[in-house]
């Protein structure tokens, strides 16, 4: 089994890192470049940078910020937000991103996902899945526009479809758990893992070191968190030590 990755997430709006609860009431958490560098020095395995306002503001991700992060962070950098066309992906990769995270645009135009995978390779394509409990067949639905709109897509059917279209990884974010610090949605992780043939990154709900351990034991290949790191509740080293103590392999 590959080592479990620990990934700080930088949700960015108006040039600042922000964080809220269930994607609402966003609060300023600092400068994205400074935070990215801090987490790199602390031993982050990767950094995920999501421009949470880009889609709703109908614009692309701020390329200058991506470039400045890439100049200081020498680990894989995943960037998402505002990606609507293959050209957006090419610009992000040229600016220093290693992977791109695509959510709403793939829902609107699924063929974009296969275009990205064909042009740049599956390893570049991370599918952002903002999922929440709903009345769909699986009990989980797919949201778009940063968790603001619930679509009529069934989450598990969409997971199967995006893999067929070329997904290299699945970023599974629980809208219900996001920012609550009550723990990752273990049922959701398990359900996705049962049908996934690519790595699953679990996101949403981290509040204690035990939550990271539980999510890894539920099958997550990587663990993504934001506010617990931004606010200094614990460090990346604390998370990795807790997982090692539980017998899990980390980098």
130 assigned to active site: yes
> Cα 57 to the chain's mean position, in Å?
20
Task: Please give the pLDDT value at position 57.
Answer: 54
Task: Please give the pLDDT value at position 26.
Answer: 55
The tens place of each residue's pLDDT in the chain, 251 residues long, gives 689 999 999 988 777 777 654 445 455 667 888 999 999 999 999 999 988 765 555 555 678 889 999 998 999 999 998 899 999 999 999 999 999 999 999 999 999 999 999 999 999 999 999 999 999 999 999 999 878 899 999 999 999 999 999 999 999 999 999 888 999 999 999 999 999 999 999 999 999 999 999 999 999 999 999 989 988 999 999 999 999 999 999 99
End-to-end alpha carbon distance in the chain: 12
Burial group, residue 152, by CB count within 10 angstroms (0-12, 13-18, 19+)? exposed
Q: Are 223 and 7 in contact (CB under 8 A)?
A: yes
Residue 116: its H or E element: helix 111-120
If phi > 0 it is left, if psi is from -120 to 50 it is alpha, else beta; for residue 55 that is alpha
Contacts 24+ apart (CB under 8 A), 246-251: 246/213, 246/216, 246/217, 248/4, 248/213, 248/216, 248/217, 249/1, 249/2, 249/3, 249/4, 250/3, 250/4, 250/6, 251/3, 251/5, 251/45
Residue 111: its H or E element: helix 111-120
Considering the candidates 11, 45, 154, 221, report the single residue annotated as catalytic. Answer: 11
11 assigned to active site: yes
Task: Please give the pLDDT value at position 146.
Answer: 77
Domains and CATH numbers, the chain: 5-245 (3.20.20.70)
Quick check: helix, strand or coil at residue 34?
helix
Considering the candidates 51, 130, 176, 178, report the single residue annotated as catalytic. Answer: 130
Overall pTM > 0.85: yes
């Amino acid at each position: 089994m590959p080592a479990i990755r620990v990934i700080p997430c930088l949700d960015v709006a108006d040039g600042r890192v922000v964080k809220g609860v269930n994607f609402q009431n966003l609060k300023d958490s600092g400068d994205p470049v400074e935070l990215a560098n801090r987490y790199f020095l602390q031993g982050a395995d990767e950094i995920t940078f999501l421009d949470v306002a880009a889609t709703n503001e109908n614009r692309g991700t701020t390329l200058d910020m991506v470039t400045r992060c890439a100049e200081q962070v020498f680990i894989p950098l995943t960037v998402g937000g505002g990606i609507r066309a293959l050209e957006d992906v090419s610009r992000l990769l040229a600016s220093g991103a290693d992977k791109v995270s695509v959510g709403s645009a793939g829902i609107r135009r699924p063929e974009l996902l296969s275009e990205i995978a064909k042009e740049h390779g599956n390893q570049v394509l991370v599918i952002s899945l903002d999922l929440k409990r709903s009345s769909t067949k699986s009990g989980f639905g797919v949201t778009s526009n940063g968790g603001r709109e619930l679509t009529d897509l069934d989450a598990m059917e969409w997971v199967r479809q995006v893999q067929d279209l070329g997904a290299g990884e699945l970023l599974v974010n629980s809208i219900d758990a996001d920012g609550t610090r009550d723990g990752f949605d273990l049922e959701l992780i398990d359900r996705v893992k049962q049908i996934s043939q690519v790595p699953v990154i679990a996101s949403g709900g981290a509040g204690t070191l035990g939550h990271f351990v539980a999510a890894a034991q539920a099958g997550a290949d990587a663990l993504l968190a934001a506010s617990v790191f931004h606010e200094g509740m614990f460090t990346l080293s604390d998370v990795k030590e807790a997982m090692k103590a539980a017998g899990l392999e980390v980098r």
